[in-house]
Amino acid sequence: MKKEDVFAKSLDMHRELGGKLDIECRKKIESMEDLSLVYTPGVAEPCRAIERDPEELWNVTIKNNLVAVITDGSAVLGLGDIGPAASMPVMEGKSCLFKRFAGIDSVPFAVSTNDVDEFVNVVSKIAVSFGGINLEDISAPRCFEIERRLQERLDIPVFHDDQHGTAVIALAAYKNALRLTGRGIEDAVLVINGAGAAGSSIARYFLAAGVKNIIMCDVGGALCEGYTEGLNPAQIELSKITNPEKRRGSLAEVIRGADAFLGVSRPGLLTGEMVRSMAPNPVVFAMANPTPEIFPDEALAAGAAVVATGRSDFPNQVNNCLGFPGIFRGALDVRARCINEEMKLAASEALASLVSESELSREYIIPSALDPRVVPAVAAAVAAAARRTGVSRI
C-alpha cells in the first residue's frame, strides 16, 4: 500500500470508528442479582477487603491487568512535538497493541503539561489504579527524569517504551547479526547515530549487555569525554562511558573501520560510501522512521552483510511490538514492582533465542511481531527474572 493511501485510509477508519478502543464489562448484568453484585450493595464488601488489606486491590479489581499509556505529546514518532491532544490516536493505538498481543487492558492518557514536576505529580496521583505505567513519546532529556522519579515514587513498573523497548529488541537483533557475521559482542565496534531518548538508552543498555566499544554520534559529531559544548547532561554522562578511544569527528569520519552502525536519527544520514568505509561485511541497523538513515538495497549494495530497519515492508524489522507486550505481560503476571535491567536482558535473550541456528540468515535475525511464540517466551523470561531478582509480589 502506498504511503499516501495508508494515511487516507487510516483517517477514514478513525472517523468511521470514532476511536479504536472500547471498555467492556467482564460480568454480564442481566438481572437485579447481577446488578447487586456488580454495584450496590454487594460492591461494598470488596471495598472493605481493600481497606483491610491494600494488596487485595490486585485481587478484586482490574489493576492486575491494567496499564496506563501516558504521554505529553512532545516527541511523537515521526511527528515531533504535536502536543497532547494530537497524540491521542497514537496512545489509543498503543493500547490496541497491548490488547492484541498480550491480552492486557490499557487506558490512553494525554497530560497537558511540559513541566516535569507537574507531570510526575499527575501520574503519581492516578497510579494506584494501575498495574503498570507505559510512558510514551516524551522528549529527551525530560523523559529520563520523569521515568526515574516516577519509578522512585511508585511500586509498579514504570517503562518508557521509546527508550527501553527499542533497546531490548535492538539488542536481540544485534546479537543475532553478530552471530551471523562471526563477531563477538565484546569485540565489535558499534557506532550509534542519534543521542536522544532512544539512542542514549540503547547505548547504556548495550553496555550493560557487554558491548565494549560504542561511539555515540549526534548533530555535533562523536560524543567524547571532555567535549561538552552543546550537550545536555544525559549526553555528557554518555560521553564518559562511551568512545573509549576518544575519537573525534563527524559520522563519516568515525564510522571508518567500524563493525556496525545503529541509527535512531534522521533519514538519509548514512551513505553507501560510509558503509563501504566500514569493516568488511558490516552490520547496519537504520531505524529512523518512516524513512531510514539508508535504505536496505543501498546498504547491501555497498557491502552490508545484514540490514535491519524499523519498517514492516523490509526484512528484520526492529518493532517495539516484539518487546513491550511480553515485558508487561511477564511483569503483571508476577505483580512486579519495577522492570529492572535483569528483566530487560532476559527479554532480549528470549527474543534472540527464537531464531535458531538453521533459520538465521541476512533476512531473518529477529522474529516477526506476528510470531505467536514471542509474547509467551518474553513474558516467561521476564517473570522468571523478576522472581530471581526479588521484585515480584508473587
Q: Which residues are catalytic?
A: 39, 94
Q: How far apart are CA 337 and CA 273, in angstroms?
A: 48
Reduced 3-state DSSP string for 98-130: HHHHHCCEEEEEECCCCCHHHHHHHHHHHHHHC
C-alpha cell at 368: 516477526
| Helix orientation angle between 374-388 and 83-102, rounded to the nearest 10 degrees | 100
C-alpha cell at 291: 524513512
319 among annotated binding-site residues:
yes
Q: How far apart are CA 111 and CA 122, in angstroms?
A: 8
289 among annotated binding-site residues:
yes
121 among annotated binding-site residues:
no
**Amino acid (1-letter code) at residue 320:** N
136 among annotated binding-site residues:
yes
Q: Half-sphere exposure (CA, 13 Å, Cβ side) for 193?
A: 30
Q: How far apart are CA 135 and CA 329, in angstroms?
A: 16
30 among annotated binding-site residues:
no
Task: Give the position of cell 531473518.
Answer: 364
CB 160 within 8 A of CB 197: yes
Omega into 141 within 30° of 0, i.e. cis?
Answer: yes
SS3 state at 366: coil
Q: How many CB atoms lie within 10 A of CB 107?
A: 19
Q: How many CB atoms lie within 10 A of CB 6?
A: 10
Do you know the residue count of the chain? 394
Residues 6+ apart with CB under 8 A from 12: none
Binding-site residues for (S)-malate, please? 289, 319
Binding-site residues for a divalent metal cation, please? 136-137, 162
